[in-house]
Structure 1
Amino acid sequence: MGTKPFWRTKRLDDMNAAEWESLCDGCGRCCLNKLEDWDTGEIVWTNVACRLLDGNTCRCKDYANRQATVPDCIGLTPDQVDTISWLPPTCGYRLVAEGSDLYWWHPLVSGDAETVHEAGVSVRGRTLSEVDIPVEDFEDYLVEWPGEEA
């Protein structure tokens, strides 16, 4: 019987930087523009991606400097995970915070960064850049992603 993986034994705020970053499954869904209904607080998803999202790799093109380029980009921290309602239900950070295990396709489980794409969970090939779409038209690009509650 081997040692349990770190995400099963550590709290988010006890992880080192490498462990924290490795919880990202690379789905790219957090980098999509979301719209919130002012009256109800309901969040709806679009397929309009942040200008920095690489639609093929589903990773940020300039992760280290993303907040300088995109000021409203959220640098996720352990304290925020429980308070951000739009994190996908399949998100590794959210799952660990809730005491759940990672899905089979998560790179930490599968050992392969491609499984998130093969499982159809990522946004690979299914987004448009916000550079090409006026913000007032975002509502024309509403979508539902795998695992989202209806």
Structure 2
Amino acid sequence: MTQRPERPSEQDGFFWKTKTLEQMSSSEWESLCDGCARCCLEKLEDEDTGDIYFTHVSCRLLDAGLCACKDYANRSEQVSDCVRLTPDNVRTLNWLPPSCGYRLVAEGRDLYWWHPLISGDPNTVHEAGVSVRGRVRGTEDEIPDSELEDHIAQWPVRLPKRAQLKKPPRS
């Protein structure tokens, strides 16, 4: 059986297709974030299998309505286990959501239609149902670690059907 030839990307020529992660400027790097805030959800790891389980509990610094950190510049000082994404670690972190712009670019894949770099609109990540907006049930300060297993959620590792489309759905 022969393998289908790869289709040329409509995104060829954009900086995330022409530069390595290491070659990107800091503003280019930051723009890879789609603003979904799924990485700001508390996660549990099964020590036996290494499986990662997302919860619908957020970091205490997440503004769940805006899907943005309340103190982005100082997040590592305020939250000791906050992971700053780098070109090195995005290639190895097993908990980045499958739709994460950093992960997609590191894997050589195209960004989805709802990514702000493609749509030109930071709200499309919310309109596509990808962000955590309206789905967070509490913060790490409100829900004790001992109860996190009761808050495991499947949606952070899945994409809504409309978000999986090649182009935005017609209004």
TM over 0.5: yes
- Whether contact under 8 Å (1:30, 1:87) holds in the other structure is yes
Instruction: Give the superposition deviation at 1:144.
Output: 1.1
Structure 1, unmatched stretches of 5+, are none
Opposite residue 33 of structure 2, the aligned amino acid is C
Deviation per residue, 1:86-132 (Å, 9 max, x gap): 00110000000110010000000000000000000110011021111
Opposite residue 98 of structure 1, the aligned amino acid is E
Identity of aligned residues (%): 64
Equivalent residue for 1:69, pick from 70, 78, 82: 78
Helix, strand or coil at the partner of 2:34: coil
Q: Does 1:139 align with 2:149?
A: yes
Q: TM-score normalized by structure 2?
A: 0.83
1:91-106 correspondence to structure 2 within 5 Å: 91-106=100-115
Helix, strand or coil at the partner of 1:47: strand
The structure with more radius of gyration: 2
Equivalent residue for 1:46, pick from 37, 52, 55: 55
Helix, strand or coil at the partner of 1:75: coil
By relative contact order (CA 8 Å, sep 6+), the higher-ranking structure is 1
Number of matched residues?
Answer: 148
- Cα distance in structure 1, aligned partners of 2:117 and 2:157: 19
RMSD between superposed Cα atoms in Å: 1.6
Q: TM-score normalized by structure 1?
A: 0.94
Opposite residue 143 of structure 2, the aligned amino acid is I
- Cα distance in structure 1, aligned partners of 2:150 and 2:82: 22
- Cα distance in structure 2, aligned partners of 1:97 and 1:38: 26
Instruction: Give the superposition deviation at 1:48.
Output: 0.4
